Chains A and B, each alone.
Chain A
Amino acid sequence: MTRTPITAGQVADIFTGAFGDGIESIDVKEWAEGTRKSKNHAVWIRMRRDLLHDAVRKLIEIDYPHLGVVSGADTGDDIELLYHMLIFFGIPHAEITVTITISLPKTDLRVPTISDLIPGAVYTEREKQEMLGIDVTGIPDSRGLFLPPDFPKGVYPWRKDETGIRDDMIKELWKVGRPEGRPAPPVKPKEKKKKEADAEGAAKEPEPAAAKESAPPVQGEAPPEPQSPEPAAEEKEEVTQDE
Chain B
Amino acid sequence: MSNGTKKGYSVPIGPIHPALKEPILFTFTMNGEKVEEVDFAPGKAHRGIEWMGMRRNPVQIVHLTDRICGICGVSHTLAFSRAVEQVAEIEVPERGHYVRTIIAEYERIQSHLLWAGVAAHELGFDTLFFLAWRVREESMDVIELLTGNRVNYGIIQVGGVRRDITEDQFPRIEASLRYYEDLLGKMLELFLHDTTITMRCRNTGLMNRREALELCTVGPTARASGLNLDVRQDSPYAAYGDLDVRAVMPEQYLGEAYGDVYDRIVVRLLEVKQSVEIIRQCLDMMPPGPVQFETKIPKLLATCKKAVGEAVGRVEAPRGEALHYVRMDGHENPQTWKVKASTYSNQMSWLKMLRGEQLADVPIIVASIDPCMSCTDRVTVVRDGHSDVMTKEGLHRLSVEKTRRLMQ
Contacts and interface: CB of A to CB of B under 8 A. Distances in A.
Contacts of A67: 216
Given A99-B312, A123-B348, A147-B46, A73 B241 contact: no
Nearest to A33: B237
A183 interface: no
Contacts of A122: 348
23 contacts: A34-B236, A34-B242, A35-B287, A40-B237, A42-B312, A44-B310, A71-B325, A72-B338, A84-B323, A86-B235, A89-B228, A90-B247, A92-B233, A92-B244, A94-B234, A95-B234, A120-B345, A120-B348, A124-B344, A146-B46, A147-B43, A147-B46, A157-B50
A90 B43 contact: no
B86 interface: yes
B336 interface: yes
Contact of B229 (A42, A66, A124, A165): A66
Contacts of A204: none
B42 A64 contact: no
A89 B229 contact: yes
A84 B216 contact: no
A51 B48 CA distance: 32
B213 interface: yes
Given A34-B238, A40-B235, A84-B323, 5 more contacts: A33-B92, A33-B97, A33-B237, A40-B237, A68-B345
Nearest to A73: B336
In the A-B complex, the 5 residue pairs with the closest CB atoms: A38-B241, A90-B228, A120-B216, A146-B43, A95-B234
Interface of A: 31-38, 40, 42, 44, 64, 66-69, 71-75, 82, 84, 86, 88-92, 94-95, 97, 99, 118-124, 143-148, 157-158, 165
A124 to B, nearest CB: 8
Contacts of A120: 214-217, 345, 348
Interface in B324-342: 325, 327, 335-336, 338, 340
A97 B235 contact: yes
Contacts, number: 134
A118 B51 contact: no
Interface in B153-207: none
A124 B338 CA distance: 11
Interface of B: 41-43, 46, 48, 50-51, 54, 82, 86, 92, 94, 97, 213-218, 227-229, 233-242, 244, 246-247, 285, 287, 310-312, 314, 321, 323, 325, 327, 335-336, 338, 340, 344-345, 347-348
Contacts of A119: 214-215, 348
Given A34-B94, A34-B236, A144 B43 contact: yes
A157 B51 contact: yes
B292 to A, nearest CB: 15
B99 to A, nearest CB: 12
A72 B209 CA distance: 29
Contacts of B218: 66
Contacts of A38: 236, 240-242
B43 A165 contact: no
A21 B247 CA distance: 40
Nearest to A94: B234
B40 to A, nearest CB: 10
Contacts of A82: 310, 325
B43 A68 contact: no
Given A73-B335, A123-B344, A97 B312 contact: yes
A64 B214 CA distance: 9
A118 B92 contact: no
Name the residue in B94, B213, B227 with the highest tally of chain A Cβ atoms < 10 Å from its Cβ. B213
A84 B218 CA distance: 14
Nearest to A165: B51
